[in-house]
Structure formats: structure tokens, C-alpha cells
Amino acid sequence: MLSLSRLLPLLFLAAALFAAPIHDAARDGDLARLRDLAKDPAVINLQDSSGDTPLHHAARNGRADAVKLLLELGGNPASFNLRGENALDLAIAGHHSSCIKLLFAAKTGPAPALPAGSQPVQWTLITAVSRGKLEIVDMLLKLNANVAATDKEGKTALHWAAVKGYSAIAQRLLDRQANVNARDLQGITPLHDAALGGHREIAELLLAKGAGINARESESQTTPLWIAASWGRDSIVELLLAKGADSSIPSSSGKTPLDAARDNNFTAIVQLLSRPSR
């Protein structure tokens, strides 16, 4: 039996082989041909074997003029393909800003039922954040994107902004009441991720919003300070100590942040953690 990862390319190949002319025209951005084919209104939202409409094809390939024309002709931006994606999802995945703006502005028609076994796409905000696409993040937030949505690892968009070091995006998410203490499936918080990445500015933002400074991961029981010490993040260690982090909390192995720093020969951090507490 073919796995899903092997089956999907075959489905897309089949879709390409059996696509109607209007799908080809949309994919290629051939406006003259689109206008001619659209004289038959039945084809405007015609789905190919993958469930893609002409609007899906235009959005996936960044054909903004074709997206605009199809919307004017009655293309339904709420239509889902067999993977549960609409045209906006495909435009976001491809970082096609002009298409995204057009689809955001479009008045959506009634959303048809999702194909059996598929799920609505919820990773678009997370994808935009993880790739540092501030403009797309802003547009998604204006559409009231769900800042609490998680990926398969349980990470929120704020987790991704923290680990990647995107402070402007992190601020946008916090302004939208993103949960500063959200935990992924391993019990990791955004502050853990900021410590891992060594992103002091984001750590400061998170702490100012009430991030749990001594939060512990589920299995390893490591705190943000422990993570920072073990990875050599001097400035994060300094910040966390200044904000009152408890340096005596051990990991599940029984080692403290000082032990972790010593094990990894981070001399500057050893010195920071060896100072008498005030």
C-alpha cells in the first residue's frame, strides 16, 4: 500500500494530466484564454481530480491577475481541495503577497463541506511566523487568525517567533493576547525557546508579559535558565538571573544550570552562576 507521502505526488500528476483547459489557463496566468473559457459559467469553480479549482491553480502559482479576474467572474475563494486547502492557503504557502491581498479582500462565498477525512488548514499563521513573513502575519492577524492554533508538535506561533528570534512578530502576537505560557507537547514554553535561541529581546518581551521564569519542561524538567546555561547563551543567563530565576532548580538528571555550564565549558556562564545571590 502506498504511503501518503508517495501517493500525493501521483495525485498531483493525475490532476495535471486530467485538468480542464481553464485550470491550465489559470495556472499559466493566460487572461485572454480565461475570459474566453469563462463564457461557460459552469467551469469557473470546476474542480480537477485533486479538488483544485481554477482559483487554486492561479493562487498556487502566484498569478495575481488571474486571481483577480477569477474572483470578478465568481470564483469561490472558500472552496476546499482534497487536502482541505483553499486558495488563500496556497497563496500563503507560496508567499505570493499580491494574491494574498486579493484573496483577503474577496467576499467569500459559502464554504462547501470539507472532503471526507480532511481537516481545515490551520497552520497558515504558524507557517508565516516560522518563515519570518511579517507582512503576511499582519494580514492574517487582521483576519483574526487564531493565535492559539498549534502545529503537530503542539507549538504555537509564539513558540516559533521565540525560537527564530522574530521580535517584531512576537510583539504582534502578544498584542493579540497570545498565551505567553503556552506549552507544546513536551511542556516547552516560548521562554524556553527564546532561551534556546539566545534571543534576549524576545525573552524580555515574554517576561514583561508574565512568562513563567522557572517553568520546567515535562520530561527533562529543565527551566529556561538551564537551557540557556547548557547552550552558552550568556545574555539570556544574565537576564534571567537579574529577573529572579532560581539557579538551584535541577533537571531530571539532577544537574543544575551551573553543572550544565561546567559540563559544556562555558566559563563566562559558570562565573555568572557562581556569584553569590543577592
- pLDDT in 10s for each residue of the chain, 278 residues: 555 556 555 544 444 444 589 999 999 999 999 999 989 888 999 999 899 999 999 999 999 999 999 999 999 998 989 988 889 888 888 888 889 888 877 754 444 454 454 444 444 789 889 989 888 888 888 878 889 999 889 999 999 999 999 999 999 999 999 999 999 999 999 999 999 999 999 999 999 999 999 999 999 999 999 999 999 999 999 999 999 999 999 999 999 999 999 999 999 999 999 987 64
The reported pTM is: 0.68
Q: How far apart are CA 232 and CA 213, in angstroms?
A: 18
CB atoms within 10 A of CB 35: 12
**Contact (Cβ atoms closer than 8 angstroms) between residue 267 and residue 233:** no
* Complete domains list, the chain, with CATH: 18-105 (1.25.40.20), 122-211 (1.25.40.20), 213-278 (1.25.40.20)
Closest CA to 205 of 227, 225, 180: 180
